[in-house]
């Protein structure tokens, strides 16, 4: 990971997902997924995606491995593990021992489109997990790992290995490395403008004046 990558992650951790979503709108990009609330841990996370896709049927040929373990061992403190389990089967795509393994490696967190089990253990470890469903049902005999570090589907977004991920209680957002510079710069500009507007409100400026034409045109990047 380059110094630029580390810098972008540090900047993402300071940006709330609403500002990043506004930046995507301004730039006519997609990547925001709602409906994946934070079920454990606290605070915003950011990292590069390590992806896992689960499915029904038989695992790919090769030595047997427990699902998710390859991703855990490929991840580090600058990683978010992103899991797809969209089979419709009630089966956990992530669980307590995987959470512990990720916690020990310092992984930033997990985003799962699919059921996660042992969520109380994750809360006990204070490990961030964002998911749309929890369950008690094991993956054993129900789903298997189909691929690691291949594209996955989360909501209506295709996530590729190495995509930037930022998540908080508003959304989970995925950003291509090709777009990260302009997205971060646009989001930082939006945050700066909103901070100035908040300061004006606190100083007594009527909110209708603060949130007038300037606010409505904020996403265009042109307030003239």
Mean pLDDT by 10 residues, the chain (224 residues): 91 98 98 98 97 92 89 98 97 98 98 98 98 97 96 98 98 98 98 93 92 66 48
Query: Strand, helix or coil at 171?
Result: coil
What is the per-residue pLDDT for 62? Answer: 80
Residue 222 burial class via C-beta count within 10 angstroms: exposed 0-12, middle 13-18, buried 19 and up: exposed
Interatomic CA distance for residues 219 and 215, integer angstroms: 8
What is the per-residue pLDDT for 213? Answer: 62
Three-state SS annotation for 47-104: EEEEEEEEECCCCCCCCCCCCCHHHHHHCCCCEEEEEECCCCCCCCCCCHHHHHHHHH
115 to 34, 81, 95, 139, 198: CA distances (angstroms): 16, 15, 10, 10, 39
What predicted TM-score, i.e. pTM, was given to this entire model? 0.93
- Name all contacts of 4-11 with Cβ < 8 Å and 24+ positions apart: 5/48, 5/78, 6/78, 8/164, 8/180, 8/181, 8/184, 9/46, 9/47, 9/48, 9/78, 9/164, 11/184, 11/188
What is the per-residue pLDDT for 63? Answer: 78
- What domains are there in the chain, each with its CATH number? 3-177 (3.50.30.40), 183-220 (no CATH)
């Amino acid at each position: 990971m380059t110094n630029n990558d580390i810098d972008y992650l540090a900047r993402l951790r300071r940006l709330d997902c609403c500002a990043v979503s506004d930046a995507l709108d301004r730039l006519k990009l997609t990547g925001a997924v709602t409906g994946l609330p934070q079920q454990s841990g606290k605070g915003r996370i950011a990292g590069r995606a390590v992806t896992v896709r689960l499915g029904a049927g038989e695992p790919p040929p090769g030595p047997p491995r427990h699902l998710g373990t390859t991703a855990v061992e490929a991840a580090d403190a600058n990683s978010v593990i992103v899991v797809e389990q969209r089979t419709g089967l009630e089966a956990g795509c992530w669980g307590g021992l995987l959470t512990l393994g990720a916690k020990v490696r310092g992984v930033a967190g997990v985003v799962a489109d699919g059921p996660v089990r042992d969520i109380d253990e994750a809360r006990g470890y204070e490990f961030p997990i964002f998911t749309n469903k929890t369950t008690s049902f094991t993956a054993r005999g129900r789903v298997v790992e189909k691929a690691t570090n291949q594209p996955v589907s989360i909501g209506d977004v295709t996530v590729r290995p190495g995509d930037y991920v930022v998540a908080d209680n508003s959304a989970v957002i995925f950003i291509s490395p090709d777009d990260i510079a302009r997205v971060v710069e646009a989001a930082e500009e939006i945050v700066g403008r909103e901070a100035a507007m908040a300061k004006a409100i606190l100083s007594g400026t009527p909110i209708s004046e603060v949130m007038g034409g300037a606010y409505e045109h904020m996403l265009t990047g042109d307030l003239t």
